[in-house]
Chains A and B, each alone.
Chain A
Amino acid sequence: MIQVAETVASRNHFVNQLLTQAVRRDIIMLLVAGGLLAVVLNLTLQPLVRLRDDVRGRSPIDLHPIESAAVPVDVRPLVEAINIHMARTRHAVEARSRFIDDASHQLRTPLATLRTQLDYALRENDPDNIRIALDAISRQLDDATRRTNQMLSLARADAAEVVLDAVDLQSLAQQVAREVLHSAREKRIDLEFDGPEDPLPALGHAGLLCEAALNLLHNAIRFAPEGGRVVIGLQALPDAVLLSVTDNGPGIPPDQLPRMGERFFRARNTLLDGSGLGLAIARSVATQCGGKLTIANMASGTGCVATLHLLHADADRQVIDRMVSLSS
């Protein structure tokens, strides 16, 4: 029989040694793992840090898209969403600065004219000449008021968060026709309606479409000759609803047709005062509603026709989204 004995102290020492070794190994493992983790995380987050520095370092007015190719795949959708948001903001900022340019151009000329007219009237002694100047001031003020209103409606049409809805063009055409009846009568213009008797629903925004149609009608009445003819037409095509305004005025020089509808652009054969904003408003409204504005001379040789092309009220959701995104 063999008996092996060990002192308690020696056993305790052995156990302690074992424990110490295990703890030391675990700590080293933990440190190495932690270090590796830090290195990997650092490498992974490096593009995000660069992204942060890039965005922080931008000038406040810099709204260019963030470069999304360099960021990790997981974060890319977020960067793309931010880019879409920035593009929208840029659009709004551009529209606003364009409005300020337009407004200064549109308001300073009538104001300078009013100042000149008023100075003339104040220095003049002949009552007849004073009367002439006062009449001119009154007309100039009407003109400035109309321009201001047009500009504000253009700004509204540009900036409006438009909710598209079914709008009955038949009743809209009647409504705008009633509004211009008086000015048409003053020029002995024959105002005709050419379209169906039944409601004709199109996709759009009632207030904005009304504004667009009114501007087209005002233009037509201005350019039609005394005793002339203006026609409001409605037509339903398979893929569009058309609202057209035709006049028998002088038409537009063919080389200038493509520029019609640009802000402040006025055809060279016009002698009438105008802001050159009427068609721009109609065009902005048309694109906001997912449609377009076209302008053409009549085949007969006299007059022109401005047409709002709109979508059917029951147009496919995908078609609407595509048209609206195309236009913006």
Chain B
Amino acid sequence: MPLLLAEDEQELADWLYRALKQNGYIVDWVNDGRMVEPSIRQVKYDALILDLGLPGIDGHSVLARLRNISVNGCASAPMRAIWAGRSEALRPQTSAW
């Protein structure tokens, strides 16, 4: 199951990557909000893990843009965004888009 991890804190991203791989996920990692959309256009991910405090474009804006576009039929795919941004680092939430 392919996942996209968007997180700019190197250490946190590194360990999230390891932990997800340990659970059998295939993980791609980007550290800039501007990289999220191009990555989604290339690969059909099943989920996106998004930090709210990303450089480039912040997580909220990324999410808003993704809600408004349908990329490669992603809009019809059952995808969920889980965000563990700085402000909600300990209160992960899930939301369908």
| Pick from B9, B18, B23: contact of A109, CB under 8 Å | B9
Task: Provide the bound-state CA to CA distance between A136 and B10, in Å.
Answer: 13
How distant is the Cα of A111 from the Cα of B22 in the complex, in angstroms?
20
Shortest beta-carbon distance from A290 to chain B in Å: 35
Contacts of A273 in B (CB 8 A): 10-11
Select one of B9, B12, B87 contacting A104, CB under 8 A. B87
B12 x A120 contact (CB < 8 A): no
Chain A residues 87-119 with CB under 8 Å of chain B are 104-105, 108-109, 111-113, 115-117, 119
Any chain B CB within 8 A of the CB of A140? yes
- Name the contact of A116 in the complex, choosing from B10, B15, B86, B87 (C-beta under 8 A): B15
Q: For chain B residues 9-26, which have a beta carbon within 8 Å of chain A?
A: 9-12, 15-16, 18-19, 22-23
- Of the listed residues B9, B11, B18, B87, the one surrounded by the most CB atoms of chain A closer than 10 A to its CB is B11
Question: Which residues in B have their C-beta under 8 angstroms from that of A113?
Answer: 9, 11-12, 15
A115 CA to B86 CA, complexed, in Å: 14
- B22 with A116: CB separation less than 8 A: no
Q: Give which listed residue, A109, A119, A123, contacts B12 with CB less than 8 A.
A: A109
Least distance between A94 CB and chain B CB atoms (Å): 19
Q: Is the CB of A116 within 8 A of B12?
A: yes
Q: Is the beta-carbon distance between B11 and A108 smaller than 8 angstroms?
A: no
A106 to chain B, nearest CB (A): 9
Cα distance, A105 to B86, chains bound together (Å) = 6
Minimal Cβ-Cβ distance residue in A for B84? A112
Q: Is A179 an interface residue (CB 8 A)?
A: no
**CB closest chain-B residue, reference A123:** B22
Closest-by-CB residue of A relative to B12 is A113
Contacts A116-B12, A273-B11 given; indicate if A111 touches B18 (C-beta within 8 A): no
Is B89 an interface residue, CB under 8 A from the partner? yes
The interface residues of chain B lying within 8 Å CB-to-CB of A123 are 19, 22-23
What's the nearest-Cβ distance from chain B to residue A285, in Å?
Answer: 27
In the complex, whether B90 has a CB less than 8 A from a CB of chain A is yes
A120 engages B18 (CB within 8 Å): yes
What are 20 sample pairs from A and B whose C-beta atoms fall under 8 A apart? A104-B86, A104-B87, A109-B12, A109-B86, A109-B89, A112-B89, A113-B9, A113-B12, A113-B15, A116-B12, A116-B15, A116-B16, A117-B15, A120-B18, A120-B19, A123-B22, A124-B22, A140-B11, A273-B10, A273-B11
Binding site for A on B (CB under 8 A): 9-12, 15-16, 18-19, 22-23, 84, 86-87, 89-90
8 closest Cβ pairs, A-B complex = A108-B89, A112-B89, A116-B15, A113-B12, A120-B19, A117-B15, A113-B11, A109-B9
